[in-house]
Amino acid sequence: MGARKTTHRNRRPHAVIIGMMGAGKTRVGKEIAHMIRIPFADADIEIEREVGMKIPAYFEKYGERAFRKVEAELIADYLEDFEGIFSLGGGAPMTPSTQDALARYIDQGGRVVYLDADPAEAMERANRGGGRPMLNGDGNARWKKLFKERDPVFRRVANVHVRTRGLTPQGAAKKVIDMVAERTVHVTGAAIEPYDVAIGEGAMNHLVEVLGNKPHKIALIHTQSVQRHSDRARALLRQGGYEVSEIVIPDAEMGKTITVANGIWERLGNEGFTRSDAVVGLGGGAATDLAGFVAATWMRGVRYVNCPTSLLAMVDASTGGKTGINTPQGKNLVGSFYTPAGVLADTKTLATLPNDIFIEGLGEVAKSGFIGDPEILTILESHADELRGFDGSSFLGSPLEDVVSELIERTVTVKAHHVSSDLKEKGLREFLNYGHTLGHAIEKLEHFRWRHGNAVAVGMVYAAELAHILGYIDQDLVDYHRSLLSSLGLPTSWNGGSFEDVLALMHRDKKARGNQLRFVVLDSIGHVVHLDNPPVDAVEEAFRRIQH
């Protein structure tokens, strides 16, 4: 076969669909293309047009080897010159050159979707359709044999895995569209097992895929306020064949206590949870912190997945492997470093957030801009009005959703950089605590009535004032902290306690060394330094400046 003539290079498919015969690749692919108004191409149909005969006839005349050569060349051309949904024949990904071409496509940002259908349904469709030379003879037996060979390869080749069991073609198409639109941050490091943070509508659909087939029992830990989302997670888990134990905990910081943790350990013991079972934490930052702590401590560590449902949890608590509970003496003083198997930041859950809960998450987003990615600050500035006016009822499908997804991706990337270099907070990772030294003290003195992101916003203004007093930054950067955070609807001052009380709590901060205070401050945007044992009068003067 001669190479198909192309006039434009570097035009990539929106997505490539692979899967077993009868999985619905053509039907679902056409639905996707129709829904998002782009072209659709089926490799088998294009091959028949190219060679001028039906595939069974070509198989019979020239054999499978010749067919695979024609198929691989056509696929390679389409991967570089087709802007649409491209469906491959069942055996196409088994060809090494096609595997290489798909890997290059993925490296350039492409999405290869493994359409994983119910075997019984796929076999019935494949046999009914006819014209499949690979199923000659006992069709079901041949299909099962091919599935055993191909499934591991399809899982390795694809970077999007979509289970379509029980879904209509339209439902499967919508699921693919959501998952293809996802953003992914890969978290790696010398001291951790690599894992992915999936960001986008429908990210929770990865739950079964991330948990794998080893666990039998799943402890689904969540707060009452996210019942709608936990119902969805429970349904996904049961569809995946797991036995689900639902454990409801108190909201916010009241759920992060040794009493609550002990109650969960008792449940796990009574229900026979073993080291091969798993935990899913679903909710805000407090819920994912507690779930991670339980997973880290049960039988010295079981697999766990975080499903954060608030902006704050998506950008902060759920990623990075810090798990913990509070004590009467302070926040997060008991905990462990224990990384999740995956984080599923499903933006559908943000649609249920009240405005004030969404806005507090912007405090941690802004922090990541100040310490590591100035583009975050530019995006926040450009969209401050829309972000401050967040309305969950109109969020999904709006232009703001893509803005928020990018902010989550960038913020998680900043965190992943610091975590991968320093899992156990001995150096670089401490920079993530910008604004937290005072922020944690405010939370404690307010008995956790102040939300974390709001306290961190004030803490960043405080750190900026301290850095200015000691000559690290100029007044303009202090003013910029105030103006940006205020424009987002975040607080920049606090009057809820005395300096003596605050100072005592700052001495208990995890960054403190012996009796010496230790702060994280900027010396420019995007560059952070440690400030060890600053003069007490400067510490007090900076505090005075955030009281009005």
Whether residue 161 is found in the same domain as residue 220: no
Q: What angle do CA 126, 129, 131 make, to 5 degrees?
A: 95
Q: Which of 131, 148, 181 is the last residue of a domain?
A: 181
Active site residues: 300, 322, 364, 415, 425, 429, 433, 436, 440, 452
What is the pLDDT, as a whole number, of residue 327? 77
CATH of the domain at 519: 1.20.1090.10
Whether residue 195 is found in the same domain as residue 238: yes
What is the pLDDT, as a whole number, of residue 476? 97
The one-character DSSP state at 441 is H
CA atoms within a 13 Å half-sphere pointing along the CA-CB vector of 494: 28
Q: For residue 8, tell me if it sits in a domain.
A: no
CATH of the domain at 230: 3.40.50.1970
Whether residue 177 is found in the same domain as residue 189: no
Cβ within 8 Å of residue 59, ≥6 positions away: 67, 133
Whether residue 128 is found in the same domain as residue 230: no
Residue written as token pair 């230790």: 518
Whether residue 271 is found in the same domain as residue 383: yes
Residue 390 contacts residue 358 (beta carbons within 8 Å): yes
What is the pLDDT, as a whole number, of residue 34? 95
Q: Which of 181, 210, 231 is the last residue of a domain?
A: 181
Residue 394 contacts residue 297 (beta carbons within 8 Å): no
What is the pLDDT, as a whole number, of residue 336? 80
Rounded to the nearest 10°, the torsion over CA 57, 60, 65, 71 is 10
| SS3 call for 233 | helix
User: Which amino acids are annotated as binding site for ATP, given as ranges?
Assistant: 22-27, 132
Q: For residue 424, tell me if it sits in a domain.
A: no
What is the pLDDT, as a whole number, of residue 8? 43
Question: Which tokens in the block code for residue 421?
Answer: 């270099």
Whether residue 36 is found in the same domain as residue 137: yes
The one-character DSSP state at 10 is S
3-state SS, 143-211, equals HHHHHHHHHHHHHHHCCEEEECCCCCHHHHHHHHHHHHCCEEEEECCCCCCCEEEEEECCHHHHHHHHH
User: Which amino acids are annotated as binding site for substrate, given as ranges?
Assistant: 44, 68, 90, 150
Residue 222 contacts residue 306 (beta carbons within 8 Å): no
What is the pLDDT, as a whole number, of residue 450? 92
Whether residue 370 is found in the same domain as residue 472: no
- Label residue 436 exposed, middle or buried (CB < 10 Å: 0-12, 13-18, 19+): buried
Whether residue 287 is found in the same domain as residue 231: yes
Whether residue 236 is found in the same domain as residue 361: yes
Q: Which of 181, 202, 226 is the last residue of a domain?
A: 181
Q: For residue 65, tell me if it sits in a domain.
A: yes
Q: How far is CA 343 from CA 253, 314, 419, in A?
A: 21, 8, 15
Whether residue 253 is found in the same domain as residue 322: yes
Cα(193)–Cα(86) distance, integer angstroms: 33
CB atoms < 10 A from the CB of 101, how many? 21
Give the residue among 313, 262, 304 at the shortest CA–CA distance from 283.
313
Q: For residue 7, tell me if it sits in a domain.
A: no
User: In a structure prediction context, what are the per-residue pLDDT tens digits for the chain, which is 548 residues long?
Assistant: 344 333 344 589 999 999 998 888 999 999 999 999 999 999 999 999 999 999 889 988 998 899 999 999 999 999 999 999 999 998 999 999 999 999 999 888 899 999 988 888 878 776 665 555 555 556 678 888 889 999 999 999 998 888 888 888 999 999 899 888 888 888 887 667 788 899 998 899 889 989 988 899 999 999 988 989 999 999 999 988 999 999 998 887 786 888 998 999 999 999 999 999 999 999 988 888 899 999 999 998 999 999 999 999 999 866 767 788 777 876 777 878 888 999 999 999 999 999 999 999 999 999 999 999 999 999 999 999 999 999 999 998 889 998 999 999 999 999 888 776 644 545 566 788 899 999 999 998 998 889 999 999 999 999 999 999 999 999 999 999 999 999 999 999 999 989 999 999 988 765 555 568 889 999 999 999 999 889 999 999 999 999 97
Q: For residue 295, tell me if it sits in a domain.
A: yes
Containing 4, the helix (H) or strand (E) segment is none
Q: For residue 428, tell me if it sits in a domain.
A: no
Q: For residue 6, tell me if it sits in a domain.
A: no
What is the pLDDT, as a whole number, of residue 320? 65
CATH of the domain at 27: 3.40.50.300
Whether residue 241 is found in the same domain as residue 92: no
Cα(267)–Cα(348) distance, integer angstroms: 30
3-state SS, 96-141, equals HHHHHHHHHHHHCCCCEEEEECCHHHHHHHHHHHCCCHHHCCCHHH
Whether residue 439 is found in the same domain as residue 407: no
Residue 219 contacts residue 303 (beta carbons within 8 Å): no
Cα(119)–Cα(146) distance, integer angstroms: 12
264: domain range? 183-415
Q: For residue 423, tell me if it sits in a domain.
A: no
Please give the tally of structural domains in the chain: 3
3-state SS, 470-488, equals CCCCCHHHHHHHHHHHHHC
Residue 453 contacts residue 508 (beta carbons within 8 Å): no
Residue 394 contacts residue 454 (beta carbons within 8 Å): no
Residue 377 contacts residue 366 (beta carbons within 8 Å): yes
The one-character DSSP state at 11 is B
